[in-house]
């Protein structure tokens, strides 16, 4: 009898432990927004190819990466176009890290979207360290654009 109680408790404990729970980095599913890094900075049409326009307004040399490609340079005051091809994948569409070359200065990304052309302009500036500290542009399978 004691063995059955222990076995039942173990099974119930395992079920409770293995039940999925939302992680804090997941987007909010409720309507409306709540402050936090999990809120998208922009939304794109995930059925068409997308162009990201990176604007370096930091006064520093930056580097950025793309999936399957090495790091590319983004010199002071320049603009680079990054084509993101939409495929039939069901996971994330793109993850593009952007960093200061050889430094640790924190960055901030501001987005503006041209929905007709499916273009996202990303204005990159320096952060004061007390506000946002962006390191990567992430686009999920629903077309939401995040800064992490």
The answer as to whether 111 is a domain residue is yes
Exposure string for 30-62, b = 16+ CB within 10 A, e = fewer: eeeeeeeebebbbebebeeebebebbbebebeb
Sheet holding 62-66, edge to edge: 42-43, 144-147, 136-139, 94-100, 62-66, 69-74
Specify if 92 maps to a domain. Answer: yes
Residue 62 lies in a domain: yes
The parent domain of residue 93 ranges over 41-147
Is 33 part of any domain?
Answer: no
Does the pLDDT at position 54 exceed 90? yes
In a domain, 68, yes or no: yes
Task: Give the residue-averaged pLDDT of 61-68.
Answer: 82
Tell me, what CATH number does 97's domain have?
Answer: 2.60.40.780
> Which two structure tokens, joined as six digits, stand for 81?
């176009």
The predicted structure's pLDDT at residue 32: 54
Judge whether 34 and 28 are in contact, CB under 8 Å.
yes
Global pTM?
A: 0.70
Confidence at residue 141, expressed as pLDDT on a 0 to 100 scale: 83
Where is pLDDT greater, at 40 or 35?
40
**Token duo for residue 69:** 């490609």
How many domains, in total, are found in the chain?
A: 1
Return the pLDDT at 73.
92
Which residue, among 82, 103, 104, has the nearest Cα to 94 in the 3D structure? 82
């Amino acid at each position: 009898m004691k063995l059955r109680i222990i076995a039942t408790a173990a099974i119930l404990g395992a079920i409770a432990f293995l039940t999925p729970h939302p992680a804090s980095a997941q987007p909010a599913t409720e309507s409306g927004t709540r402050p936090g890094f999990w809120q998208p900075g922009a939304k794109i049409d995930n059925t068409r190819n997308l162009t990201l326009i990176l604007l370096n307004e930091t006064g520093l040399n930056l580097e950025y990466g793309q999936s399957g490609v090495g790091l590319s340079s983004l010199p002071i005051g320049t603009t680079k176009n990054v084509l993101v091809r939409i495929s039939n994948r069901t996971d994330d569409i793109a993850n593009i890290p952007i960093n200061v070359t050889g430094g640790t200065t924190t960055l901030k990304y501001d987005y503006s979207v041209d929905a007709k052309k499916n273009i996202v302009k990303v204005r990159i500036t320096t952060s004061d360290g007390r506000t946002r500290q962006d390191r990567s542009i992430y686009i999920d399978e629903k077309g939401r654009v995040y800064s992490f």
